Amino acid sequence: QSVLTQPPSASGTPGQRVTISCSGSDSNIGSHYVYWYQLLPGTAPKLLIYRNNQRPSGVPDRFSGSKSGTSASLAISGLRSEDEADYYCAAWDDRLRGRVFGGGTKLTVL
């Protein structure tokens, strides 16, 4: 059972917009920045969003992040086949004194 809660799966057709949610608590998302990562099979995790809503250089602006209270979300617009991957949210947790991850969301592009 992960500290941050994500839906196990999401799907969309090419060109659609999909949103992945991440729910936490006051001790993690409510107090700290949220980060989002993309995992493709056999590759290292890739940073997609940092500090809630900032995109690293090289990440397309189709990816956006937001945070409100103890929840955050990742939105992907103009869905493409190469977006099919696993997505994870993460934050520091003051109560656990450690970094916590969501359980991951497998995105399927239909």
Partner 1 sequence: EVQLVESGGGLVKPGGSLRLSCAASGFSFSTYSMNWVRQAPGKGLDWVSSISSGSGYMFYADSVKGRFTISRDNANNLLYLQMNSLRAEDTAVYYCARNDDSDQGIDYWGQGTLVTVSS
Give me the residues that bind partner 1 (CB under 8 A), please: 2, 32-33, 35, 37, 39, 43-47, 50-51, 56, 86, 88, 90-92, 96-104
How far apart, in Å, do the first and last CA atoms of the chain sit?
A: 28
Nearer Cβ to partner 1, position 35 or 63? 35
Q: Is 92 left (phi over 0), alpha (psi -120 to 50) or beta?
A: beta
Nearer Cβ to partner 1, position 17 or 51? 51
Question: Number of C-alpha atoms within 13 angstroms, CB side, residue 14?
Answer: 3
CB of 22 to partner 1, least distance (A): 12
Nearer Cβ to partner 1, position 8 or 61? 8
- Contact in structure between 90 and 104 (CB atoms under 8 Å): no
Fill in the DSSP letter of residue 17: -
